[in-house]
Amino acid sequence: MKKVKPALLKGFDQEYLPGEQLQFNALVDLVRRNFELYGFLPIETPSAELKEVLTSKGGTEKEIYALARLAAGDDDEAATRGALRFDLTVPLARYVAMRERDLAFPFRRYQIQRVWRGESPQAKKGRFREFYQCDIDIIGREKLSSLAEAEIPSVIYSVFTKMAIGDFRIRINNRKVLKGLLQAQGVADAAAPAVLRALDKVDREEKAKVVQDIKREGVTEAAALELFGLISDKRDTNETLQMLSRQAANELLAQGLAEAKDIVAAIRQFGVPDSHFAMDLSVVRGLDYYTGTIYETTLVGHPELGSICSGGRYDDLASYFTDTRLPGVGISIGLTRLFSRLKEANLLRPLERTPAEVLVTTLEPKYLERYLGMARELRAAGVNTEVYLESAKLKNQLAYADRKGFRVALVAGETEFNGNVVQVKDLYNRKDENHPLDRLVASVRDLLSRSRKSD
Amino acid sequence: MKKVKPALLKGFDQEYLPGEQLQFNALVDLVRRNFELYGFLPIETPSAELKEVLTSKGGTEKEIYALARLAAGDDDEAATRGALRFDLTVPLARYVAMRERDLAFPFRRYQIQRVWRGESPQAKKGRFREFYQCDIDIIGREKLSSLAEAEIPSVIYSVFTKMAIGDFRIRINNRKVLKGLLQAQGVADAAAPAVLRALDKVDREEKAKVVQDIKREGVTEAAALELFGLISDKRDTNETLQMLSRQAANELLAQGLAEAKDIVAAIRQFGVPDSHFAMDLSVVRGLDYYTGTIYETTLVGHPELGSICSGGRYDDLASYFTDTRLPGVGISIGLTRLFSRLKEANLLRPLERTPAEVLVTTLEPKYLERYLGMARELRAAGVNTEVYLESAKLKNQLAYADRKGFRVALVAGETEFNGNVVQVKDLYNRKDENHPLDRLVASVRDLLSRSRKSD
């Protein structure tokens, strides 16, 4: 038969072996569990939306995949009017606008789903065309307290502390402060977005290049240098707030500074220690969409990973769909990218628990019912158990157990059953012991609780 | 501003409110947990695959959605060569063929992901264009014991027993038995697939119509009537096996019957009671792909739901991709459809636990730190807790709590804090009690453990 070469599409290639998939799923579960601890509720939205919904905000058409029929077929709305979502924010806006009357506000939702972007895939940099995003947003109706902005870092803190992937910093800034600083340096409002995009690169590009980019927007050299210094100089949170207090104030800067001070104080009340967050003027964020606090999160000692969790406060989520003003604040974790980088940097923790916990080996077919009985007993106690069902030598069954990562193998034949015992093999530490059959569950549980690899 | 109407694509419309989403997620978790208990390992595959991979087996082109760029853009492999998967079996075949050397066989995998099919959407019948499938398969290399076929019903039994959606029957049959019966009635091999498709409808169509369809394939009226009777008469498992033993045997029927007897005996050993499974000749399955045991699962008293879990044994999973013969057995639960039908039939259980467990109301801003402290304590104990962060009257905060489905609200102001107590409101049973602040976690846990709605 002519064969088709089994291969993946470029950028649609983050596919894992089962062991890696388990590690990935453990991260998803951890993120989800933490979001739920803070009272966020889950939603999922369809993968494909109406094109006019996805493009309502504009500026993203180039990245969107549309649907088409593979073969000419019946009329199909999805194939003519549908496209894949490129983020979880536009679907959220559509969702809230559609279901406003059914939701309780502030609406706190989390969403962990795949998104698709027709970007140039650079696998090395962890950019993919299909990837998971984990988003939370708090959406108010007509109003939203700035305390919501202060709560977000406590959720980020909870997630990454429990993920135990090393020391991290939640870096925050305020868009009003940034725009106030630009105003103070005489930057025209129309030039502000471009100047902010240039300033967003202070950590990655040469000073000369950034200053050049700012000047190109009609800003004087002195002002460009001043802005570069303000943004790039390293200060702690209190120094930053003091420095801002000393700046020649305009109304916007004063307002932003007051907001930032309140939010910094509240973040501390929310229990995030100063060791893990900082007001940092070099956090800029590209999107013009943000209007208050903005967030980035970086792993200390791993600047190459970039921000692993970003977002901000916005004034109106769904202005393209509804007249109701829906101010909100949200963050997103790009989990596929994070996972890929953590794997590369060897920062993933080993799993606490795998579905492959106990393998019941089978020596003689006549004992099948007894093997199955052991498995049933263990499963009833919540222990993941597989019975080896092929006919194979014990040696080969144990090789299979090792290959698949089982922790424990049970071995029993005539001798063991006559003595009412079972041989319990600790596959991580290479030890065997006979245990009474009527204490099977207790023996296995005891072993599982201590059978971490000795190294 | 000109508004875009927020709406969903037809067939891409199974989107839930958070409460429903929680119920759906609880089903996914239950299915996943049961698959893992039996030692199945998770994989996920990309949503889009190469077109030649998806169409390798043929016959499904009409249902496939291809990808395209929304706007003319850079060259993009996905937009020219990619399409969305329509099931989880073809991606599994591609996965195993690609990763044969990295997997341990028998390979037991589960996969819970969305698939896309450009069928005519009939929302009323629970057919959608985007839906979840939950699959398990056991794949052998070159060989696979028939015990694997006997194990599958025990997994189905475990899943639906724990789902507690009512009485169900796992109905099995054997393709060799079916084809042997056809041979015995003189049905030509070439006509067998069409005759089986006709017989697949004995439960849904008039006898005259089925017999007519069979005769059209060149079968005599007497033979068609005989087949109709064999397939549609109701017998229990033992009666079916006895009846088959009495049939004029050909080699295929004899082989199928021997297999079926062994597998029925093994299913009983695997712990599935006769009350919940039956050998049933009216289980036919449309696909020619199956070669041994085939499975359907129906809810007793709800024939309108159709089969909620189906599958079978096949001889070779990935013949289009590799020369290695990969026999396997698998089943699939169409979870989106099942959920939609269970909802309609009012068979969904209420949730044991929601992310919205405790709302800490906030009476005075000066106590923010104390409110946050209570929340931190509860979260550390694993209790999902939200702090109400807007300024609003207590009445409105409690209305929000009710709307969102919280079980408990905590209320504390000057009086309570001075007395070192907190008012614990049972929102389901409308009872309030003051509890000492230093016993907060115990009091809340106690209430959560008994605060099911009294009705």
Complex ipTM above 0.90? yes
| A426 Cα to chain B: minimum distance (Å) | 17
Specify the pLDDT at position B454: 43
What is the pLDDT confidence band of residue B61, given thresholds at 50, 70 and 90?
A: confident
pLDDT band, very low/low/confident/very high, at B352 (cuts 50, 70, 90): low
Closest CA to A372 of B410, B154, B226, B339: B154
Q: Which helix (H) or strand (E) holds B20?
A: helix B18-37
pLDDT at B455 (0 to 100): 37
Whether A363 shows a pLDDT value over 60: the answer reads yes
Q: How many CB atoms lie within 10 A of CB A251?
A: 10
Task: Indicate the residue of B56, B70, B144 with minimum beta-carbon distance to A51.
Answer: B70
Phi, psi dihedrals of residue B290, rounded to the nearest 5°: -80, 145
Among A74, A78, A356, beta carbon nearest to B12: A78
List the one residue out of B125, B46, B337 whose CA is nearest residue A84.
B46
Helix (H) or strand (E) holding A401: helix A394-404
pLDDT of residue A389 exceeding 60: yes
Helix ranges (H only) for B38-138 are 51-54, 77-81, 89-99
Give contacts of B40 with chain A, Cβ < 8 Å: 355
Three-class DSSP labels, A200-268: CCCCCCCHHHHHHHHHCCCCCHHHHHHHHHHHHCCCCHHHHHHHHHHCCCCHHHHHHHHHHHHHHHHHH
Residue pLDDT, tens place only, A331-353: 999 999 999 989 988 888 777 66
* Least confident segment among A257-271, B124-138, B221-235: B124-138
> What is the predicted pLDDT for the residue at A73?
63
Helix (H) or strand (E) holding B268: helix B251-269
- Please say if the pLDDT value at position B422 is more than 90: yes
Q: Do B355 and A41 touch (CB under 8 A)?
A: yes
> What are the chain A neighbours of B158 within 8 Å (beta carbons)?
379
| Residue that wins the pLDDT comparison between A95 and A454 | A95
Q: Residues A149-166: what's their mean pLDDT? A: 95
What's the Cα-to-Cα distance from A390 to each of A360, B27, B139, B148, rounded to whole Å? 12, 31, 12, 8
- The answer to whether the Cβ–Cβ distance between A7 and B114 falls below 8 Å is no
**Nearest chain A residue to B78, by CA:** A9
B47 and A130 within 8 Å at the Cβ level: the answer is yes
Q: Pick from A25, A70, A102: which is nearest to B17 by CB? A: A102
pLDDT band at A131 (very low <50, low <70, confident <90, very high): very high
Percent of all residues in chain B with a pLDDT value above 70, rounded to a whole number:
95
What are all long-range contacts of A446-452, with beta carbons under 8 Å and residues at least 24 apart?
A: A447/A407, A447/A408, A448/A357, A448/A358, A448/A383, A448/A407, A448/A408, A451/A407, A451/A408, A451/A426, A451/A427, A452/A428
> Which of A37, A101, A115 is the mutation pick for testing B, counting most B CBs within 10 A?
A37
DSSP lists the bridge partners of residue B132 as B114
CB-based contact B118 A53, cutoff 8 Å: no
pLDDT at position B71: 82
* A34-90 pLDDT, tens digit each: 999 999 999 999 999 999 999 998 777 888 999 999 887 666 889 999 999 999 999
CA distance B360 to B437: 13
Backbone angles phi, psi at B109, to 5 degrees: -125, 150
For each of the domains in chain A, give its residue range(s) and CATH number, in order of start: 18-344 (3.30.930.10), 358-450 (3.40.50.800)
Residue B2: pLDDT band by 50, 70, 90 thresholds? confident
A61 CA: distance to closest CA in chain B (Å): 6
CB contact under 8 A, B53 and A382: no
CA–CA gap between residue B420 and residue B374 (Å, rounded):
12
Statement: residue B124 has pLDDT above 70: no
Inform me whether the pLDDT recorded for A135 exceeds 80. Answer: yes
Helix, strand, or coil (residue A62): helix
Q: Kindly state the average pLDDT of the residues B410-438.
A: 95
CB atoms near residue A425 (< 10 Å):
23
Nearest CA in chain B to A384: B37
Predicted pLDDT of residue B125: 58
Q: Which residues contact A399 (CB under 8 A, 6 or more apart)?
A: none
pLDDT of res. A59:
75
Instruction: Find out whether B384 and B355 touch, Cβ atoms under 8 Å.
Output: yes
Whether B93 and B26 have beta carbons less than 8 Å apart is answered as no
Is B6's CB within 8 Å of A64's CB?
no
Which pLDDT tens digit goes with each residue over A176-207? 999 999 999 999 989 998 999 999 888 888 99
Confidence of residue A455 (pLDDT cuts 50, 70, 90): very low
Distance CA B172, CA B307 (A): 12
Asked whether the predicted pLDDT for residue B274 surpasses 70, the reply is yes
pLDDT over threshold 70, residue B3: yes
CA B199 – CA B196 distance, rounded (Å): 5
Distance from CA of A57 to the nearest CA of B (A): 10
By Cβ distance, the residue of B37, B356, B369 closest to A39 is B356
Q: Judge residue A134's burial from the number of C-beta atoms within 10 Å of its C-beta, 0-12 exposed, 13-18 middle, 19 or more buried.
A: buried
Instruction: Please give the Cα distance from B124 to A269 (Å, whole number).
Output: 51
Chain B contact set for A21 (CB, 8 A)? 41-44
Q: What is the pLDDT of residues B65-81, one digit of tens each?
A: 999 998 876 668 899 99
Over residues A282-297, the pLDDT tens digits come to: 999 877 789 999 999 9
- Probe site for chain A from B2, B5, B8, B27 (most A CB atoms < 10 A): B8
